[in-house]
Structure 1
Amino acid sequence: MFDIDGRRLPTGLQSFKKIREEGSIYVDKTDLMWRMAQGEHVYFLSRPRRFGKSLLLNTFKAYFLGQKELFEGLAAERLEAQRGEKAWTKHPVFMFEFTGASYGEEAVKEVILGTIAEYEEEYGGSGGNSIKLRFSNLLKNATRQTGQRAVVLIDEYDSPLLESLRPERREWHERYKEDLRTFYKVFKVMDEYVRFVFVTGITRFSELSLFSGLNNLVDLTFDEGYATVCGLTQEEVEETYAPEIDRLVERLGRSREEVLESLKMAYDGYRFTRRDVHVYNPVSLFKCFSQGRLGFYWYNTGTPWVLTQLLPDFKGGVEELERPKRMNFAQLESLKFQERIDPTGLMMQAGYYTILSHEDEFDSCEIGLPNGEVKFALINELQPHLQEGSYDVYSFTVVQNFVRAIRSGDVPKFMDYLERFISYTPYSNRPAGSGVHEDIFRNIVHILFKLMGMYVQVEVRSLAGRSDMEVMSEKGIYVFEFKTSTVQDALQSALGQIREKGYASKHLPEGKTVHAIGVVFGEKGIVDWGEEVVE
């Protein structure tokens, strides 16, 4: 938590109680929480890591414990008043947290029984080593002693399952699943003692009784009514964090519009439903505000280990993962994590992919990387899986230097990096004599600029024709024309086309330095390039 001009950001806080008592900034999501709390179901919500799932569970905890004072001035206070005498009814609340466990053969059982033991100190229990018996007795005792049915909150249910996919822990995986099945089956047989259950996770494992053995399970992952229950909308960011945005504008020396656009490109873009509603990653946004700089924070929060273990052998295939994919929405809703899964499903489950667009006619959606931060995280995590020699090429330092060179207008430097990037793509490693295809290299360059978080357009139309690619930075505009080495006088042809067609000169009124860049591709990558500053 950081104090900025007397305002406290909830950086790193997952406790609703602590946020409210310490006066941290809180975006009111309690109307959505309250609406869910009125149902008597087992709810499940999947969201990427560090996206506010634990805070949501803690908000449920405060509500069901009847902690009315924590909701003063929030939507839930007004809504709860409608319930009259039943308002702020206190229930026994049991929270099970599977993150941070010390993993061993009995890890899941130890977490479950250890948590039960803590609550047995208040409500009594039978003891022993049976999950079913002890949990059933706990629910009965709590309900009978309080006169109210129990509430059960389960955070990151899938954490031990993901961890047990490591080769050295694989023998524990089935044991973990069996212990979880036993635990979840209790909800069905003890339904009369359970008021409400909410489960969060990153993935949805198949063949687990959480999804197949409960008749009243409600999966909210793609529910349009709860699209914004985790994460922050553009409106919420601009209204709630206006002072933080102003501070960032002053510190970066950029206009408010430019800062908002940069924040959007870096941290926005997550979409979880057919409805076109996007949300920001709150953790990254808070870190940006507290540190006063635009940075890539998501990859530092801990990547699901399973991503780099189960994806195919990459050998430089970043561009294939970056390319958006299309699937039927029914397929998306039925994605469940299995020990073997296609890369698209895995990327979606791990939070690297999100919904980019939806087509009503065929109920299909395009999925892909949501923003610049996740794109950088992908490069960072796949470094060890890229072809030999490309680790250094795709390193954080090189990426930073590449972006700095573009922003400063240092064309020779960023073209040097561009040549190096392209030399480590799979296409550039084909056998000699395979021929040169301009469109393939153009796509590679396009993807690289997008991965660096730059604003890039391809085949930009004008009255005289279409430029191959245009890249915008804070201070400069770069207009590219690509040719292959099979074209006579290829470099002069490219630069001449930019001049004659006016692709670059049309940008002069924008007040930025305009660069015309001709690039010639050979079988192995860039073989020549040239630049002209347009005046």
Structure 2
Amino acid sequence: MSSINLERLPLASTGFVNLREANKIYVDKTELIYKLTRYDSAPIFLSRPRRFGKSLLVSTFEALFSRGLEDFHGLAIEKLWKADKEKKSYKVLHLDFSEFYDLNGIELNRRICRYLVHKLSNYVDIKVSDDQGRDYGCEELLRIISEDEKFESKTIVLLIDEYDAPIVHAMNDSKLLSEITGVLGRLFAAIKSCEKIFRFVFITGITRLSNVHLLSPANNQNDISFDPQYASLVGITEKELHYYFEPFIVNASEVLGISPEETYTKLKTTYNGFQFAIEAKETVYNPWSILSFLSKPHLGFKNYWFESNGGTHSLLVNHLKQKYLETQFLEKNKKDNNVSTIELEQKSDINRIPLDILLYQTGYYTLRNIGTPDFAKLEYPNEEVESSIIQLKEVVGNFRISADTSVALNQNLIKYVDEKNLEGIRKLFNSILTDCLRPSTIVFNSETDVRDIIYSHINLIGLLKSKEQENLYGYSDLELKTPKTRLVIEFKRIKKDKLEPKAREKAKAQIKEKAYGEDPYNHTHVRASMIISSEQKKIIKVELV
């Protein structure tokens, strides 16, 4: 299986090599996609984080409406589309606003108008400017198109991807922001007033902004962002992972030298857990991360989402670099909290998005049901995101490990684990903390925060890492596994160094009582206690159990 051809697993932003492959993978979503295409005129809006397949979904709609079933013969959508006697094709306008992110208001308006003329001038007599040479506003051009007698009703499909990209780019320039929101506000208002010409309108973005008319009540839009029936519309479900990807999972397990069951478990804890509606029946995997892992499993369970800039959206980074939010974010160590559903679903001003809502919209938090419709819990969905939040703090606070520490980790950590060189591991861990943290850090008030910073920097091929590893009796703090050795570490934090002996004995007893690290596999078991000193701001003691 190690020679299986993985070249068909693409890493483009749309997620798949072509639409036929996409439909095969997302066949269980066919009913949802088809149901959406039954909406007539009223704009449908979907908000999701980056790297979750919004662009793939838009491309699927484009193919269906522009070419009918040309790309879908023999696939699940064919019977549904034919049964409804859907018109073979429509004039499809596909505007990807991520391509317009660096334009001013005049340029943005001109680009939209040029696109409309390019796509529709064969059907109706339109130009980008009037007889006096004055440029039309994009909203004026839409109205001219809608009023032309040659244009039949319900003949245009409008798809707008990443509507908020130009707004995010302009957020730190008040004049530019006013220009951009003015153009987009007039465009979305015109889409509503010209709805008779639209058969289908679908719009995606990351944020739900009050700065434009998109989400205004007058627009009668259908916002499906929190609708439980569409919660798994993008992303990969557990069923889909097992049903469609099993050969690739088996291949990955052989490449990594672990069992398929271990691979499935690690994939779930690393990349699953996203829930986009409070009443959703299942969680989903990040598709970018899953496909990236399966295409190159020899690299291990990397943080593909953050590395692809999925976790460093400019909206998020720009917000967090505002002084009052930077301090709030860098000192944030609570993993979950509750938010009212009203606040969650409210539109926000681009410059005043609440921190928790911002982290949810950009993929760092996910929803959990707490038994009441008025509130939801926000929590980290998986290990990849927990690692990403630490890396994001490093970006915002300019915390980096040095090249020397990085080289030392790569050259020595696996060797130290196999050699049971616990003192060497302690020094490596302390090097990470010394490089990353400032004198004013409050990280040493929490052993889990210290553990998480260390954990986020352990990304070595040939070394599996895990935290809160569950067994019958409890959860181990940190585990590092090579092909030969399994190292289990129990951390204990002490406020005063004089408490070190007592903490060390407590850690050793906990490891033994809860049977951390005991498994049926052929590994050498190494179990150790590590003592974190709040006084000295480092790990001061490590001992073999």
TM-score scaled by length of structure 1: 0.83
Measured after TM superposition, the shift of residue 190 of structure 1 is 1.7
Rounded Cα–Cα distance in structure 1 between residues aligned with 2:348 and 2:22 = 39
Matches within 5 A, 1:440-479: 440-448=445-453, 451=456, 454-457=465-468, 470-474=477-481, 475-479=485-489
2:332 matched to which residue of 1?
320
Q: Deviations over 1:19-66 (max 9, x none)?
A: 146899632233211101112221000111121111111111222225
Distance 1:52 1:317 in 2: 28
Inter-CA distance 319–265: structure 2 relative to 1 (3 Å threshold): farther
* Structure 2 residue corresponding to 1:188, chosen from 192, 198, 207: 192
Residue matched to 2:490 = 480
**2:501 is the alignment partner of 1:492:** yes
Distance in 1, matches of 2:359 and 2:352, equals: 13
In structure 2, distance between residues paired with 1:23 and 1:444? 40
Change over 3 Å in CA distance of 1:325–1:397 after alignment to 2: farther
Residue number in structure 1 paired with 2:163: 157
| Partner AA of 2:506 in structure 1 | Q
Residue 248 of structure 1 contacts residue 259 of structure 1 at CA under 8 Å; is this kept in 2? Answer: yes
Task: Identify which of 255, 259, 271 aligns with 2:259.
Answer: 255
Whether the 8 Å CA contact 1:42–1:198 is kept in 2: the answer is: yes
The answer to whether the 8 Å contact 1:480/1:516 transfers is: yes
Between the aligned partners of 1:502 and 1:321, the Cα distance in structure 2 is: 25
Higher relative contact order (CA 8 A, sep 6+): 2
Moved more, 254-263 or 359-368: 359-368
Whole-angstrom CA distance in 2 between matches of 1:184 and 1:283: 30
Could you say if the C-alpha distance between residues 396 and 276 of structure 1 is closer, same or farther in structure 2, counting changes exceeding 3 Å? farther
* Worse-matched range after superposition: 376-385 or 396-405: 396-405
Please tell me the residue identity of whatever aligns with 1:98: F
**Shift, 1:94, TM fit:** 1.4
Q: Tell me the equivalent position of 1:99.
A: 98
Please name the residue that 1:333 is paired with: 345
Change over 3 Å in CA distance of 1:461–1:481 after alignment to 2: farther
Q: Is the 8 A contact 1:66 1:90 kept in 2?
A: yes
Is the aligned partner of 1:228 residue 2:227? no
Q: Is the 8 A contact 1:270 1:278 kept in 2?
A: yes
Secondary structure of 2:50's counterpart equals coil
Are residues 108 and 518 of structure 1, via their aligned partners in 2, closer, same or farther at CA, if it must alter by over 3 Å? same
TM-score if structure 2 supplies the norm length? 0.82
1:374 to 376, 380, 385: 385
In terms of mean alpha carbon deviation, does 522-531 or 344-353 score higher?
Answer: 522-531
* Superposed CA RMSD: 3.6
Q: Which runs of 5+ in 2 are unaligned?
A: 130-134, 459-464
| Cα distance change, pair 13–201 in 1 and its aligned pair in 2 (3 A) | closer
Q: Which sections of structure 1, spanning at least 5 residues, go unmatched?
A: 432-436
Could you tell me how far apart the structure 2 residues matched to 1:206 and 1:224 are? Answer: 23
Distance 1:503 1:398, change over 3 A: farther
- For the residue of structure 1 that corresponds to 2:98, the secondary structure is coil
Q: Does 1:199 align with 2:203?
A: yes
Structure 1 residue 301 corresponds to structure 2 residue 308: yes
Partner of 2:73: 72
What is the aligned partner in structure 1 of residue 61 from structure 2?
60
Confirm or deny: 8 A CA contact 2:493 2:534 kept in the other structure. Answer: no
- 2: CA distance between counterparts of 1:23 and 1:461? 40
Instruction: Indicate whether 1:135 and 2:142 are aligned.
Output: yes
CA contact (8 A) 1:372 1:450 kept: no
Contact map agreement 2:493 2:531 (CA 8 A) in 1: yes
Offset, 1:158: 0.5
Q: Deviations over 1:368-402 (max 9, x none)?
A: 33333334444444435326xx4226999479659
CA gap of 1:363–1:150, structure 2 versus 1, over 3 A, is same
Q: Name the CA shift for 1:55/1:479 in 2 (closer, same or farther; >3 Å).
A: closer
Match of 1:530 in 2: 542
The residue type equivalent to 1:515 in the other structure is R
Q: 1:395 to 1:263 in 2, by over 3 A?
A: farther
Q: 2 CA distance for matches of 1:421 and 1:367? A: 29
In structure 2, the residue matched to 1:125 is 125
CA 1:399–1:78: 2 relative to 1, 3 Å: farther
- 1:23/1:94 CA distance change after superposition, 3 Å: closer
2:426 is aligned with 1:415 = yes
Q: Which residue of 2 aligns with 1:361?
A: 372
Aligned counterpart, 1:434: none
Q: Distance in 1 between matches of 2:413 and 2:170?
A: 38
Q: 2:89 maps to what in 1? A: 90
- SS at 1:366's partner residue? strand
CA contact (8 A) 2:400 2:435 kept: no
Cα displacement (A) at 1:491? 3.5
% same residue: 24
SS in 2 for 1:320: coil
Task: State the SS of the aligned residue for 1:238.
Answer: helix
Provide the C-alpha distance between the structure 1 equivalents of 2:529 and 2:191, rounded to a whole number of angstroms. Answer: 65
Contact 1:380-1:395 at 8 Å conserved across structures: no
Q: Does 1:269 align with 2:262?
A: no
Residue 517 of structure 1 aligns with an amino acid whose one-letter code is S
**1:343 maps to 2:355:** yes
Q: Which shows bigger deviation, 502-511 or 281-290?
A: 502-511
For residues 265-295 of structure 1, the C-alpha deviation after alignment (integer angstroms, 9 at most, x for no partner) is: 3322221011252112212222222223332
